[in-house]
Amino acid sequence: MHRLRTTVARLWPLTSAQTAQSLSALEGDIRTFQPVRSLNASVAAEPFLNGTSSNYVEELYYAWLEDPRNVHKSWDIFFRNANAGAPPGAAYQSPPPLSGPSDGMTNIQALVGARPNVEKLVKDHLAVQSLIRAYQVRGHHIAKLDPLGISCVDFDDAPCTVGFQNVGLYGLAESDLDKVFRLPTTTYIGGNESALPLREIIRRLEMAYCQHIGVEFMFINDMEQCQWIRQKFETPGIMQFSLEEKRTLLGRMIRSTRFEEFLQRKWSSEKRFGLEGCESLIPALKTIIDKSSQCGVESVILGMPHRGRLNVLANVIRKDLDQIFCQFDSKLEAADEGSGDVKYHLGMYHKRMNRVSDRYISLSLMANPSHLEAVDPVVQGKTKAEQFYSGDTEGKRVMSILLHGDAAFAGQGIVYETFHLSDLPSYTTHGTIHVVVNNLIGFTTDPRMARSSPYPTDVARVVNAPIFHVNADDPEAVIFVCNIAAEWRNTFHKDIVVDLSTYCLLRHGIPLFLKGGPRVIEVLGYSHLCL
């Protein structure tokens, strides 16, 4: 401060009143007072050093003392000259004038000419950002979710807004595909790169959102949750499996498939509600259980309808096969205790070692009556009870998994009611993983005649639950999605839906009503007659 006052005093012209005051103060002194600045030094020499701007100049001076780069170059020159003892009017140096009116006009015209280019650059970057958001919101519309390619999903005939051929909708041209654009913070497709060519941006978005996985999450109003999902699906190369993981997946698929084949050959005329066509459900459930066990879950309560129940009992809960097969043969007696209900209604409890996490885990499959979704609140009640009696107030040790059929999921009101209990303080189980075996047509009904929404899973949107659609004919995609679903539940303790798209009823020629009349479809060597 002293240096500033010294500098200003050196430059400040004295007024007549100040001079008289100084002289009266020094009256009686033998020395003669000589003012440092005479009245001839006009205030006009430094017009900005007046009382109204002194605070501003003081702040600039302090900033300059810390670092000369903190102030404009002209102030840097002024303070340097003032400190060096420059006389009033000499410390300030005006910027060099333009060389002439012609040069000035040329510079102005150059700036005006450059403005459209800047506007075009900004406009193109905004267009790229809109394109990225379109993939995040609507990419699942064109994802390859239908194994047979005859999906009846109706998106109200809305035009496609993603893809190389639709960049013109955003004001971009084909010539822009090789231009490099800076990526926004709302995407992770760049990995370690902050800018990519438009062609590569679209390719990576296609890989993330338009292959065998379709992600619905942009309706979630929590930014942290949206960013978490983006990172899980958009990061380049994230869907990679080790050789050991692939072997485990293959082994589980073989167990699931061979079990169904054995039942088909041995008891072809018996009711068994087979899992043919969606055998990837078994590795999906086992992956969810493995990942949850690694996160600290000790008990899992499952609820499911009839389809696939025997396979789940055998390969997930690990019920003894002799007990299952005894129920098919009237000559044999099963060791089950209970009401004598049919085999595809019964439940099971088993505690075993999980080989992935090396921890013991308890698995409970709840008994389910013929009313498909009636078991949903029963599962939630049992889960809540176990959490209460074990002191698990955050749902970190006890969790629930609910399996659904697509038509029942969309058509039965108890599903909607159960979802609305999911976040109530006295009822919440801190997140349920819902797995939908989506036959795409329910049993015999065209979706357009069965519900008013494109997907049977749209009911889950009311509680901001993310929905992962996946083609069940791609087991690796199924495993990838189930890993993320288990991580989501153990991170945010919120509901989540995994939608396995498949045609399991078509595997053995069940007659189905589809648009377009009779047709025969060849898939995996099977002939399916669609009436």
Q: Residues 6 or more apart from 496 whose CB is under 8 A from it?
A: 431, 432, 433, 434, 465, 466, 467, 468, 485, 488, 489
Reported as a pLDDT band with limits 50, 70 and 90, residue 343 is low
Average pLDDT value over all residues in the chain: 78
Condensed to tens digits (0 to 9), the pLDDT of residues 291-333 reads: 999 999 999 999 998 888 888 988 999 888 887 787 776 665 5
Q: For residues 505 and 443, is the Cβ–Cβ distance under 8 A?
A: yes
Strand spans (E) along 243-386: 299-303, 348-354, 359-365
Q: Tell me, what's the pLDDT at 163?
A: 62
Q: For residues 435 and 281, is the Cβ–Cβ distance under 8 A?
A: yes
Condensed to tens digits (0 to 9), the pLDDT of residues 354-400 reads: 988 899 999 999 988 777 788 999 999 999 999 999 999 999 999 99
Q: Tell me, what's the pLDDT at 512?
A: 39
DSSP symbol at 433: E
Compute the average pLDDT of residues 4-13: 50
Q: For residues 155 and 454, is the Cβ–Cβ distance under 8 A?
A: yes
> With pLDDT > 70 as the criterion, what percentage of the chain qualifies?
71
Q: Residues 6 or more apart from 111 whose CB is under 8 A from it?
A: none
Give the tokens for residue 39.
């009245």
Q: For residues 264 and 323, is the Cβ–Cβ distance under 8 A?
A: no
Closest to 342 (Cα-Cα) out of 443, 272, 261: 272
Q: Tell me, what's the pLDDT at 5?
A: 52
Helix (H) or strand (E) holding 195: strand 195-197
Q: Which amino acid is at 226?
A: C
Give the tokens for residue 284.
């999906």
Give the tokens for residue 491.
């991170």
Q: Tell me, what's the pLDDT at 344?
A: 62
Compute the average pLDDT of residues 481-510: 83
Compute the average pLDDT of residues 196-211: 92
Q: Tell me, what's the pLDDT at 15?
A: 42
pLDDT at 348 over 90: no
pLDDT at 32 over 70: no
Helix (H) or strand (E) holding 519: strand 519-523
Reported as a pLDDT band with limits 50, 70 and 90, residue 290 is very high
Q: Tell me, what's the pLDDT at 16?
A: 41
Give the tokens for residue 207.
């890989």
**467-471 and 496-501: which strand pairing?**
parallel
Compute the average pLDDT of residues 43-49: 62
DSSP symbol at 512: B
Quote the CA–CA distance of 501 and 236 in Å, as a whole number: 25
Q: Tell me, what's the pLDDT at 526?
A: 34
Compute the average pLDDT of residues 500-519: 51
Compute the average pLDDT of residues 189-193: 90
pLDDT at 27 over 50: no
Q: Tell me, what's the pLDDT at 155?
A: 55
Q: Residues 6 or more apart from 211 whose CB is under 8 A from it?
A: 143, 144, 477
Condensed to tens digits (0 to 9), the pLDDT of residues 133-189 reads: 999 998 888 888 876 665 555 555 555 566 655 766 777 878 888 888 999 998 999
Q: For residues 513 and 446, is the Cβ–Cβ distance under 8 A?
A: yes
Residue 510 CA: distances (Å) to CA of 64, 268, 348, 505, 528: 84, 15, 30, 6, 7
Strand partners, 364: 301, 349
Condensed to tens digits (0 to 9), the pLDDT of residues 402-444 reads: 999 888 898 889 999 999 999 999 999 999 999 999 887 776 6
Task: Give the residue carrying structure tokens 């240096």.
Answer: 3
Give the tokens for residue 134.
């379109």
Task: Give the residue carrying structure tokens 């108890």.
Answer: 414
Helix (H) or strand (E) holding 405: strand 398-405
Angle subtended at Cα 156 by Cα 152 and Cα 157, rounded to the nearest 5 degrees: 85
Q: Tell me, what's the pLDDT at 267?
A: 80
